[in-house]
Amino acid sequence: MENKHLLKDKEFLRQHILRIQEINKPQNFQQLFSQPQPLVLDIGSGKGEFATTMASLFPNLNFLCIEKRPDRTLATAKRKIKNNLQNLFIFQGKIEHLIPHCFFKKSVHKAFMNFPDPWPKNAYRNRRNLNPEFLEEIYDLLETGGDFHFATDVKSYAEYAYSLLNNHTGFVNQLSTPWVHEVSEEYKTLFYHHAAKDGLQSHFLHFKTV
Ligand SMILES: C[S@@+](CC[C@H](N)C(=O)[O-])C[C@H]1O[C@@H](n2cnc3c(N)ncnc32)[C@H](O)[C@@H]1O
């Protein structure tokens, strides 16, 4: 593990974080990792708890965290370094700036969108990241048979996501219901736990591309 004082050095941590100006259009993300392996996106990865846990559990997959807030990407970089994760990279910026120009088509194995900001008031619904155009872009970058996981604690957002996905001919529901409320421990993110503490149910959707 790196020296402990380096974990407090923002300049050092920033070396582990990519920004849009450092990315090619399109970018071969596999070149970032020590070996090419199926690529998994964590869109809106927060402080990286979920992605770093998954990257430790699945060393045969490469993880790309995408997070707009610099403080949260620094926290993720700390986790990456502490856990010596060679199979995780961090992009600091808005997902809409990374998509659609930076990914090769069909280059992503799985994409997670865990508890995206819900913008519950009607007036702000158009700020939600998941919308028809965004879904089309996700569809284009996922490989055939690729997974799209979406989770939210806001029922109306779950209903909206389900109707978008279910009406898209390129996605097939992997569950026998629109969503499930419970998942195995490693899929329970920080915001799942925040919601549970507030007595809110979470909704987990899982679709595959065809
Ligand atoms: C509610 S938090 C969820 C964090 C984590 N996925 C979880 O489930 O614990 C949503 C995260 O998405 C990030 N975010 C919101 N809009 C984004 C965007 N357009 N591009 C990248 N990240 C975004 C926020 O900064 C925040 O960290």
* Residue 73 CB-density burial (10 A; 0-12 exposed, 13-18 middle, 19+ buried): buried
Cβ of 190 less than 6 Å from ligand 1 = yes
Q: Which residues are registered as beta bridge partners of 43?
A: 66, 113
Output the pLDDT for position 1. 53
Substitution site in 115, 138, 200, 204 for ligand 1 pocket (most atoms within 8 Å of beta carbon): 115
Output the pLDDT for position 124. 85
Q: Which residues are catalytic?
A: 117
Atom of ligand 1 nearest to the CA of 194: 9
Tell me which residue has tokens 């209903």.
159
Q: Are 14 and 74 in contact, with CB atoms under 8 Å apart?
A: yes
The average pLDDT across 79-97 equals 96
CATH number reported for the structural domain that contains residue 142 in this entry: 3.40.50.150
Output the pLDDT for position 4. 77
What backbone torsions phi and psi does residue 43 show, to the nearest 5 degrees?
-90, 115
Q: State pLDDT tens for residues 95-106.
A: 999 998 999 999
Substitution site in 117, 138, 150, 194 for ligand 1 pocket (most atoms within 8 Å of beta carbon): 117
What is the Å distance from ligand 1's center to 67 Cα?
6
Cβ of 115 less than 6 Å from ligand 1 = yes
Output the pLDDT for position 2. 53
- In whole angstroms, what separates CA 79 from the centre of its chain? 16
Q: State pLDDT tens for residues 110-165.
A: 999 999 999 888 888 889 999 999 999 999 999 999 999 999 999 999 999 999 99
Q: Cα(120)–Cα(160) distance, rounded to whole angstroms?
A: 12
Output the pLDDT for position 149. 98
Q: Are 201 and 181 in contact, with CB atoms under 8 Å apart?
A: yes
pTM beyond 0.85: yes
Substitution site in 19, 45, 189 for ligand 1 pocket (most atoms within 8 Å of beta carbon): 45
Q: Are 180 and 174 in contact, with CB atoms under 8 Å apart?
A: no
Going by CA atoms, what residue is nearest to atom 13 of ligand 1?
44
Say how many domains are in the chain: 1
What domain range is 143 assigned to?
4-209
Q: Cα(20)–Cα(104) distance, rounded to whole angstroms?
A: 16
Which tokens is 205 given?
A: 């959707």
Cβ of 153 less than 6 Å from ligand 1 = no
Q: Which amino acid is at 142?
A: L
